[in-house]
Structure 1
Amino acid sequence: MKTTIKAKLLEMPSEESEKLDNLMIRFSSAIRFAFNRRKPDAYDPMNKMDLEKLLQSKYKLNSRYAKDAVMKADSIISSQKELVKEYHSNYKSKLKQVKQELKRAKSKQKIHALKTKLDKYQRKLEEYQKHLDEGTIPKVIFGGKDNYKARCEGKISNQEWKELRNNKFCSRGDKTKKGNHNTRIVLDEEDNIFLRINTSVKKNSSRYEYIKVPLYLLQKKNLEGEVNGRDYKSMVLDVVSKEKPYYVEVIRKDNQYYAHITIEEKTPEIKFANPEQVGIIGIDTNPDGFALTCLDQEGNYKWHKCITNPELTSAKGNRRTNLCGELAKEVVEFIKNKGYSVAIEDLEFKRNSYGNKKFERISHQFVYRKLLTFLERGCKREGIEVIKVNPAFTSIIGKYKYQHQFGISVHNSAALVIGRRALGFNERIPKQLIQVMSSYLNRVKFTKFISSSQWSKWGKIDYLIKILIKTIKKEGGENPAYSKDYAYSRYRKRLLEIA
């Protein structure tokens, strides 16, 4: 498992910082040069080997730096190609949603806004379709689009813009070169840690000049001298002592230098708990945390628990990332000694919908992605088996089938469905819900409903019940807008005609 550890380069003499900045300028320029000759619509395309040789002579880089620059350029191109496919799919989905919304819109203001959005999405879709047809990629701005706009508007100086464009270099690891040849972590006699950097400048005819910069690796200790959290410092030093390969990227930010060190983290073997014999824990991911529901081997409910933090819906930046990590750690600590496997949703993170900005901020995919990523990594570190299942209709099935039965929240009900799906159980529709469908659908529609797939049935049930709840609210003089999960619980007896 790959793990990236952040470190900081401590203060260095101005001469050394100038050499480091000079290396960043040459390496960043080499990446841009390689990118413009490796992209699909390159004016002067070059093969990899010839390009590496040209970079060595043009930018005075050694062969390893030249190869790393070409590798970085190729990774940008491959990433852009994947993004073109994703953006095309997203805008295609958004366009379909806006067209459906336009059919239902009544006010002139709403129709005008939707038509404007429709035109925008159509232009974007055509743009990405053209890239797919021609095998090209969009323009790439090294230094960032926002920074480029700020430079055009005169908000930042030309010098600041150049510093943003030329602020990093990287070096791949090599086990035959004591872990990393160009940026090697070394220790002195007093066990002080340094990063030895090859400046790729020859001070005589044969040898390159190196600079040795003090490196700070974070390690938090309590009053007893024990390390709090994961001991990343020891992990890095262990890799260095065994001369295993590690990747280093040096970045300049706010006149400070940071090193991102990527190592291969050793993890224990996965303990296969055999869910068919001992049961499983289903986990549903939500904007404020996790909902856990434990099942036995027959798929029956045993217990449930919620591990959440309300601050997660409003926190920003590093604070939100930290909260995601703490919640995932709490979940792993809770389940690691219980002997169960874990079932989670196999979510696809696509920005293919539009809607209320406040809701999107709360339920942004960043939270789900971070929570699931941290949870998976935590489980892997503890040797816990993780089973991924299709997330389709888990919340809908849980709400209509298990929420009232076990007196649990809709999130724990969804976790119950996730666990049952991992065990291989199908969710049959209760007779009461089928009776509701037969009461409100004519014979032809009901026949189509019965002959449809199982998941399609659940979708149709959810759609009809939402309409019925709106009707009930209108009759009672309430706001007919349907947005709350507890609306079904409130009107359940009336909908199912239970006395």
Structure 2
Amino acid sequence: MITLKSLLEFQNEEDRQRVLDLMRRFSSAERYGYRRLLEGHERNGLKSHLAHVFQINTRYADDAILKAQSILKSCRERGQSPSKVVFGSRNLFEKLKKKHLNGSRREELKREWRERRQGNLYSRGDRSKRGNLNLRFVWLEGELYLRICVGERRWVWAKVIRPVKREKDKWIGFIWSLRQAEKTGEWFPYDVELKLKDGEVYALVSVKEKFPPATITLENGVLGIDVNAYPFHLALAEVSPDGNLLGYERISLHELLSASHDKREYLCWQVAYQVVNLALEKGKAIAMEDLEKLPKGRREDGLPKLRKKLQRWIYKSLLEKIEILAKRHGVEVAKKDPSYTSVIGKLKYAPQYLVDKDVAGALVIGRRALGFEEKLPESYRLLLKDEEFLLYSTAQLEEKVKELKRELRKEENEWRKRAIKKRLSAVRSELKTLQRHLRTLQSGESEPASRHPANRGKEPVRGSLSGLRKSWRVLSAALTVPLLEKFPQVKGTVRDFSPLRLILVSGDWERAVGRSVPVPGAGAAVQRCG
């Protein structure tokens, strides 16, 4: 979707006040609908109620509910409490609460607060309604107007003021499409949103962008992308058509954390151009995670610094920008289910190529986009049957649980206690996974499958895990604490997976466990993309 902004000029003050009154009622309906959604009300029943209470047509009412639903979904994705949403900007709300503000500065903030809180109107596009029913662009005497429905069979016409800013301004394409639709009758849907700012009413029109046919396809191989929060960066893996790693690159995103909203948007576009230019240079399609929701922490989890970083982690917006730019340049984009890509990457490909887990995860995403299935290496398959190793790993996890309990008893700081409790819960979960697998092995029941078709759809796998994914989960539990945490390269985070190479090559876990230092030479086996 592309969004274009234009200024509205009303024929008289009466028309302007009618529209402002409609925007105020719509904004109230949106806030009211949001609260009812939190209470569990259904959209269909709520629509007619909002139309009656706020004296707007049912389509406006339905659009107000859609806006409320999008805010609710966004809030939950960010891990924030939906009940604490502030309409009109929390930042302005907090400033207005300060007692020392007075005079012109306070009045300016109150005006801006009212505009953001009450100056909104939205109407979704509809092809069957000549593009948009309530907010429709029309031509009158050769000039473009926005026809605004303000009541039953009542409209206000506002002149659209929008100069062309540059040669490739997308407004030119939108105007041409409107002209063509007027001539042929083949209309296209466009969403329109009115916003009040500094006393002026602006129209923001959003239309689906038309992309050229892809000239760089998956047949040429892919550039796999993995977004990571710790450290905050993009990991890029260049994957050949036969699924091998050709090179890798990392792009730091730390500058985004301290930037304002507008600067973050600018920097995200810069990163997107960097990724797409690399894909064009290498002649590779792009493979990325199909991320719908990602936990961003919650209050009282004992990890305030990490939570603050995750709250500003605009991964979805960044991936969308990369996807849009890639399609504009004829680069095919494949979005794949990210389930278990990190686990498979760190256990299988990180020690194999001597790269970190983020690059390995990007490699798995790229291979999944090319249609490859991930086999369980023979040494790992045998390891899952090795009762002696499983008993050793179980004992190590039990010792880790005791260690965390001792640390919890000694810790007096309540916030640090919560962080330790979270880690303790994760280790206990790994221990249960390993014990369950060990009981299955000792009872002689069926073993986890070593092969299972990869999920080629975009939707996450639901229900019970497949046999192969259970195997990867057991391996992660059996190897992470008992082996890899002996050599952490970053405090609290395992980054070096080279000790697993000995197990992958020879299956000698006893020798790997006995090492006092990591396998030398990690991180230099593959040439970088750049």
Scaled to the shorter chain, the TM-score interval is 0.5 to 0.7
Correspondence for 1:455: 472
Correspondence for 2:296: 351
Unpaired runs of 5+ residues, structure 2, are 182-187, 395-433, 442-446, 449-469, 503-511, 521-530
2:249 and 2:37 map into 1 onto residues whose CA distance is 52
Question: Aligned pair in 2 of structure 1 residues 159, 326: CA closer, same or farther (>3 Å)?
Answer: closer
Correspondence for 1:318: 262
Correspondence for 1:131: none
Any residues of structure 2 matched to 1:403-482 within 5 Å, and which? 403=350, 405-422=352-369, 423-429=371-377, 431=379, 442=391, 445=394, 448=437, 453-456=470-473, 457-469=475-487, 481-482=491-492
Correspondence for 1:233: 171
Q: How many residues align?
A: 418
Q: CA deviation at 1:320?
A: 1.1
Q: CA deviation at 1:35?
A: 7.5
Q: Which of the residues 368, 376, 382 maps onto 2:315?
A: 368
Correspondence for 1:286: 228
What's the secondary structure of 1:305's corresponding residue?
strand
Q: Which moved more, 1:144-153 or 1:300-309?
A: 144-153
What's the secondary structure of 2:338's corresponding residue?
coil
Correspondence for 1:134: none
1:216 and 1:442 map into 2 onto residues whose CA distance is 73
Q: CA deviation at 1:382?
A: 4.3
1:30 and 1:319 map into 2 onto residues whose CA distance is 32
Counterpart amino acid of 1:351?
K
Any residues of structure 2 matched to 1:109-128 within 5 Å, and which? none
Unpaired runs of 5+ residues, structure 1, are 60-64, 92-123, 125-136, 474-479
Correspondence for 1:5: 4
Counterpart amino acid of 1:293?
A
What's the secondary structure of 2:321's corresponding residue?
helix
Correspondence for 2:459: none
Q: Does 1:66 align with 2:18?
A: no
Q: CA deviation at 1:321?
A: 1.9
Question: Aligned pair in 2 of structure 1 residues 11, 397: CA closer, same or farther (>3 Å)?
Answer: same
Q: CA deviation at 1:389?
A: 3.6
Correspondence for 2:122: 170
Q: CA deviation at 1:399?
A: 4.3
Question: Aligned pair in 2 of structure 1 residues 83, 188: CA closer, same or farther (>3 Å)?
Answer: closer
Give percent identity, aligned residues only.
26
Counterpart amino acid of 1:325?
W
Question: TM-score, normalising length from structure 1?
Answer: 0.64
Q: Is the 8 A contact 2:89 2:113 kept in 1?
A: no
Counterpart amino acid of 1:282?
G
Q: Is the 8 A contact 2:18 2:150 kept in 1?
A: no
Q: Is the 8 A contact 2:351 2:500 kept in 1?
A: no
2:124 and 2:250 map into 1 onto residues whose CA distance is 42
Correspondence for 2:243: 299
What's the secondary structure of 1:242's corresponding residue?
helix
What's the secondary structure of 1:366's corresponding residue?
coil
CA RMSD, 1 decimal? 4.9
1:38 and 1:403 map into 2 onto residues whose CA distance is 45
1:390 and 1:38 map into 2 onto residues whose CA distance is 29
Q: Does 1:198 align with 2:145?
A: no
Residues 99-147 of structure 1: per-residue CA shift (max 9 Å, x gap) = xxxxxxxxxxxxxxxxxxxxxxxxx9xxxxxxxxxxxx96987546776
Question: Aligned pair in 2 of structure 1 residues 150, 12: CA closer, same or farther (>3 Å)?
Answer: farther
Residues 262-314 of structure 1: per-residue CA shift (max 9 Å, x gap) = 11222345569455xx5433222235553322223332222333344552343
1:403 and 1:186 map into 2 onto residues whose CA distance is 59
1:171 and 1:389 map into 2 onto residues whose CA distance is 32
Q: CA deviation at 1:368?
A: 1.6
Correspondence for 1:98: none
What's the secondary structure of 2:189's corresponding residue?
coil
Q: CA deviation at 1:167?
A: 0.8
Q: Is the 8 A contact 1:148 1:161 kept in 2?
A: yes
1:267 and 1:245 map into 2 onto residues whose CA distance is 17
Counterpart amino acid of 1:24?
M
What's the secondary structure of 2:158's corresponding residue?
strand
2:274 and 2:200 map into 1 onto residues whose CA distance is 33
Q: CA deviation at 1:12?
A: 8.9
Correspondence for 1:110: none
What's the secondary structure of 1:165's corresponding residue?
helix
Any residues of structure 2 matched to 1:39-78 within 5 Å, and which? 52=51, 54=52, 59=55, 66-75=57-66, 78=69
Correspondence for 2:24: 25
Q: Is the 8 A contact 1:293 1:301 kept in 2?
A: yes
What's the secondary structure of 1:464's corresponding residue?
coil
Correspondence for 1:265: 209
What's the secondary structure of 1:442's corresponding residue?
helix
Question: TM-score, normalising length from structure 2?
Answer: 0.61
Q: Is the 8 A contact 1:37 1:46 kept in 2?
A: no
2:519 and 2:31 map into 1 onto residues whose CA distance is 70
Question: Aligned pair in 2 of structure 1 residues 303, 76: CA closer, same or farther (>3 Å)?
Answer: closer
Residues 331-389 of structure 1: per-residue CA shift (max 9 Å, x gap) = 22332475544322233323355453333444447322122222233334445443334
Counterpart amino acid of 1:312?
L
What's the secondary structure of 2:363's corresponding residue?
helix
Counterpart amino acid of 1:372?
L
Correspondence for 1:179: 131
Question: Aligned pair in 2 of structure 1 residues 187, 76: CA closer, same or farther (>3 Å)?
Answer: closer
What's the secondary structure of 2:59's corresponding residue?
helix
Q: CA deviation at 1:251?
A: 0.7
Q: Which of the residues 272, 277, 286 maps onto 1:328?
A: 272
2:180 and 2:7 map into 1 onto residues whose CA distance is 22
Q: Is the 8 A contact 2:239 2:366 kept in 1?
A: yes
1:464 and 1:258 map into 2 onto residues whose CA distance is 60
